[in-house]
Amino acid sequence: MESQFRVIVIGAGVAGLAASHCLQRAGIDHVVLERRSEIAPPEGASITVFPHVLRVFNQLGCMKALFDAGTLHDRAWTRWADGSVAANSGLYDYIKENHGIDVLPLERRAFLQVVYDNLPDKSKIRTSAAVKNITETTIGVEVTLADGTIEKGDIVLGCDGVHSLSRSIMWDHAAASNPAHIPKSDKTAFKTYWKCLLGVGPRAPSLGRSDSAIVHNDGYSFLILAQPHCSFFFVFFHLDKPFAASERLRYTDQDAEDLAASVADQPITESLTFGDLWNGRARGTLISLEEGILQRWHHGRTVLAGDAVHKMTPNIALGGNTAIEDIVLLTNKLHRLLSHNPKPTASDLTAIFTAYNTERLPRTKFATDTSGLMSRIQAQTTPLHKALAWILPYLPDRGAADMMLGEYIRKGPVLDFVEEEKENGEVVGVGKGKVASGEGEKKGSLGKVVVTVVAAFGVAAVVQGVRGVLAAF
């Protein structure tokens, strides 16, 4: 049975649809407001789902449908600017060995459609429902839509992306009632450091059936994900001068064509150029890529999740996974609160929002910093990053799967009120062995730790130690 407590979710993207799934399983009444008329528009390229998030979708009953829409990775290739091979890694095999399941890439549009199609109650989703304003009352919230209708509830969950309207309104409410609540740094936390060509291209046999490929260049890099029927491509260009994300820049189709032409002759493999993918594309676009993380994720009866509070480059595919983690942890806290207090006070809600914010910050910062550092290594943006790009292919890929990624995947949150189904006696996404049980945490000499860190998807633990050095270049 649904609770009398009602959540108004703004945005039906990755985080918003995941929120509807989780809230429905928790028995929490809600509505999801999406300004667009379509749930899965023909935009973007791909999303890659990690084992710990596949575990969540297994709890939600739609993991098998996701597998039907994508094909697991095979090999991970790293190539130099001339297309020659720097590394041919078995990373994905090691992840599957450690956790019982691999990482799953699929078209972002297909992902959204599958998640929507498998909702127990689709009536919770309202399309063409653009938000105009949010008002907080003494007992709840009222969300006014562009058509004049009003949705009433107890809290607002803002899942409306990096240019979040719910975040802007939340900041306005905070400025009027408690100006010190939102740190000044949050207003400028998101900056645009990149522009990115992305889209869906033709199948290319030289890329393999379901391999991934990273191609290093000076100032930009390619990321290609092969699938049996197509390929997903990303070209990341580092900007000479970053700018505030609030100075939103929209590119035209001609901008995309001109930028694609400038790298059309660049090799992806020995027999494939980027022009081959771009010219045969099903779709392609040019967008800005922002980076940053907020310190304060809530105020009053509004709480935020996903890109509204953290934005990372997609080079290692943690963005969507991190957004879903937000939703899982927040739903767990709401479920526990409502189980013994069906109509919580504003102070009760502030307490769980604060706990959610505090618990999510360290893991989200790790994902954001690691993604950004790996992006800069792949694009060789400074001499130090270029040196790391040359080191990485010679380090053991097993270290990345066992140490840093193993621990990261193992600690991913799951719905704590849903019993997990098992396959062959194992919980999906956990697997068996030391990595799955937590006994494989890194220990030992400094040299071993450094090797593990550097191997682990973007030199993750080096971020803090070399931050000042990187800034000096």
Query: What does DSSP say about strands 212-216 and 76-79: parallel, antiparallel, or unpaired?
Result: parallel
Q: Are strands 220-226 and 85-89 parallel, antiparallel or unpaired?
A: unpaired
Q: What is the pLDDT of residue 432?
A: 62
Tokens of 208: 């393999």
- Give the pLDDT band (50/70/90) at residue 372: very high
Question: pLDDT tens digit string along 337-367?
Answer: 999 999 999 999 999 999 999 999 999 999 9
- Residue from 34, 72, 231, 265 nearest 151 by CA: 34
HSE-CB of 103 using CA atoms within 13 angstroms: 29
pLDDT greater than 50 at residue 457:
no
Query: Which run of H or E residues covers position 143?
Result: strand 141-145
Domains and CATH numbers, the chain: 6-188+292-472 (3.50.50.60), 193-291 (3.30.70)
CA–CA distance, 246 with 255 (Å, rounded to integer): 20
Residue count of the chain, please give it.
Answer: 473
- How high is the pLDDT of residue 386? 95
**pLDDT over threshold 80, residue 444:** no
Q: Which residues contact 446 (CB under 8 A, 6 or more apart)?
A: none
pLDDT at 398: 82
Give the start-end residues of each E strand in 155-206.
155-158, 191-201
Say if CB 399 and CB 456 are below 8 A apart. Answer: yes
- Locate 122 and state its tokens: 């689709």
Where b means 16+ CB within 10 Å and e means fewer, 190-210 reads bbbbbbbbbbbbeebeebbeb
Q: What is d(CA 234, CA 315) in angstroms, rounded to the nearest whole number?
A: 9
pLDDT at 433: 54
pLDDT of 441 strictly over 70: no
Q: What is each CA distance from 295 to 188, 281, 400, 432, in whole angstroms?
A: 11, 39, 29, 36
Averaged over 125-131, what is the pLDDT?
98
Determine contact, residues 235/222, Cβ cutoff 8 Å. yes
Instruction: Quote the CA–CA distance of 444 and 442 in Å, as a whole number.
Output: 7
Tens of pLDDT, residue by residue over 55-96, are 999 999 999 999 999 999 999 999 999 999 999 999 999 999
pLDDT band at residue 402 under the 50/70/90 scheme: confident
